Copies of this chain bind each other. A is one copy, B any other.
Amino acid sequence: MDRLFQALADATRRDIVARVLVAEYSVSGLAEQYDMSFAAVQKHVAVLERASLVSKEKRGREQIVRGEVDGVQRARRLLDDYERIWRQRVDRIEDILGEDEDRT
* Interface residues in chain A, defined as those with a beta carbon under 8 Å from any beta carbon in chain B: 1-6, 8-11, 14, 17-18, 21-23, 67, 69, 72-73, 75-76, 78-83, 85-86, 88-89
Whether A1 lies near B22 (C-beta < 8 A) is no
Query: Which residues from chain B contact A23 at a C-beta distance below 8 Å?
Result: 89
CA distance A4 to B85 in the complex (A): 19
A54 → B minimal CB distance (Å): 12
CB distance from A61 to the nearest CB of B (A): 25
Report A81 CB to chain B, min CB distance, Å.
8
A83 touching B72, Cβ below 8 Å: yes
State the Cβ distance, A15 to closest chain B Cβ, in Å.
11
Given A1-B14, A69-B86, A76-B79, 8 additional A-B pairs, CB 8 A:
A1-B11, A2-B9, A2-B11, A4-B9, A18-B82, A21-B89, A67-B82, A76-B83
Contact of A83 among B2, B8, B73 (CB under 8 A): B73
A79 to B17, CA, bound (A): 10
Contact across chains for A80 and B85 when beta carbons are under 8 A apart: no
